[in-house]
């Protein structure tokens, strides 16, 4: 199979879809890998390393998109990239289609097959390709929040961990899953006063088992969310419904009543955000102030630590890339229901129920899509 790795073009996105060691393994399996020159530089992998691994280096994105059967990326294709996609080609990357109807329309029009990292499942019900980036984003969130709380950024001028005789910042984490648990880990380690809210008693028990008395847990209701967020210095949005638009748990009315200079880091922004006042930002312009509250809503947070994040994501994706290449896309999807759960678009149809529901469009069952795929 011909596999293509373009350079990411999203703002300050320095991760890369395949690292040289992954390329080496694919080449050893008999596949051809086309890598756009400079694709790995931001993550610390130069062109020479890719050449040594057996990749064919090409100038610009056109040869990658023109010649590759399987495109392996990190972030969703931007408009310029979507124009290059075609029927019969497979895209394997993060998509986050539920809050992005424009991207969905373009993918449908291209008739490409698009498999989303964030909806691939595991036998235990977890999301193995989303988890590593959720860990990274969760651990980044308190750092970003601490930065937002600094006075030059419009924040309250509060040090997250406080000092002797001065109390630490109050941090509220909405959601106790992978993002939330990792956010709580770092925030507590920085000395903050941390509370995690979730609607699952089992999740809250896991937080207690992990952190003991260092982190409080509260069952999430509209009332508890409102009261705790209003007195918080930092709120971290860490909720997820796989494939679907994030629920808006933090209302605009609550934000208006938060402390002036408080901060919100909405990690759920990839799926539309869990705060009513959130809208996507970039690493170039990461924050804005609304209702006297600093909002940090960067849609590719792990891109800030591109080297760590790239290794983490490649560790998770490589077995699936090998399966797609070795077996062919149709057979790989047919044989693996967990990979098939990642199928979001095929030949002009949405194939994930949560995405179809969010976009209010028709839905083709992935099994049916794969059946038609194998006949072509």
Catalytic residues: 96, 270
Sheet with 113-116: list strands edge to edge.
Answer: 56-58, 32-36, 2-5, 70-72, 90-93, 113-116, 343-346, 349-350
Which residues contact residue 319 at a Cβ distance below 8 angstroms, ignoring those fewer than 6 apart? none
Q: Where are the beta strands (DSSP E) in the chain?
A: 2-5, 32-36, 56-58, 70-72, 90-93, 113-116, 170-174, 193-198, 215-219, 234-237, 263-266, 287-290, 293-296, 343-346, 349-350
Q: Which are the contacts of 80, defined by CB distance < 8 A and separation ≥ 6? A: 9
- Rounded distance, CA 336 to CA 338, Å? 5
Q: Report helix, strand or coil for 364.
A: coil
């Amino acid at each position: 199979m011909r596999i293509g790795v373009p350079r990411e073009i999203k703002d300050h996105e320095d991760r890369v879809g395949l690292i040289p060691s992954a390329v080496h393994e694919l080449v050893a399996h008999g596949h051809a890998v086309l890598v756009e020159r400079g694709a790995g530089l931001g993550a610390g992998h130069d062109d020479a390393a890719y050449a040594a691994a057996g990749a064919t280096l090409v100038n610009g994105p056109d040869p990658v998109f023109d010649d590759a059967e399987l495109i392996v990326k990190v972030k969703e294709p931007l408009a310029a990239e979507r124009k290059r996609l075609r029927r019969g080609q497979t895209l394997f990357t993060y998509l986050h289609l539920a809050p992005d109807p424009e991207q969905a329309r373009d993918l449908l029009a291209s008739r490409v097959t698009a498999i989303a990292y964030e909806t691939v499942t595991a036998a235990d019900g977890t999301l193995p390709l989303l988890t590593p980036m959720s860990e990274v984003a969760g651990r980044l969130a308190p750092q970003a929040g601490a930065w937002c709380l600094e006075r030059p950024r419009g924040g309250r001028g509060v040090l997250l961990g406080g000092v002797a005789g001065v109390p630490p910042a109050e941090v509220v984490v909405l959601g106790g899953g992978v993002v939330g648990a990792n956010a709580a880990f770092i925030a507590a380690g920085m000395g903050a006063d941390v509370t995690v809210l979730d609607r699952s008693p089992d999740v809250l028990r896991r937080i207690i088992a992990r952190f003991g008395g260092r982190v409080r847990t509260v069952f999430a209701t509209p009332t508890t969310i409102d009261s705790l967020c209003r007195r918080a210095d930092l709120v971290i949005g860490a909720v997820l419904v796989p494939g679907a638009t994030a629920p808006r748990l933090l209302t605009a009315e609550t934000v208006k009543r938060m402390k002036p200079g408080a901060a919100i880091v909405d990690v759920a922004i990839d799926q539309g955000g869990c705060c009513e006042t959130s809208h996507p930002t970039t690493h170039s312009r990461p924050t804005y102030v609304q209702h006297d509250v600093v909002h940090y809503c960067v849609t590719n947070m792990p891109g800030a630590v591109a080297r760590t994040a790239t290794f983490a994501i490649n560790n998770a994706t490589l077995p699936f890339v090998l399966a797609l290449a070795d077996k062919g896309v149709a057979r790989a999807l047919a044989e693996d229901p967990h990979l098939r759960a990642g199928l979001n678009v095929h030949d002009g149809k949405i194939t994930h129920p949560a995405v179809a529901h969010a976009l209010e469009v028709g839905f083709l069952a992935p099994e049916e899509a794969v059946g038609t795929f194998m006949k072509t």
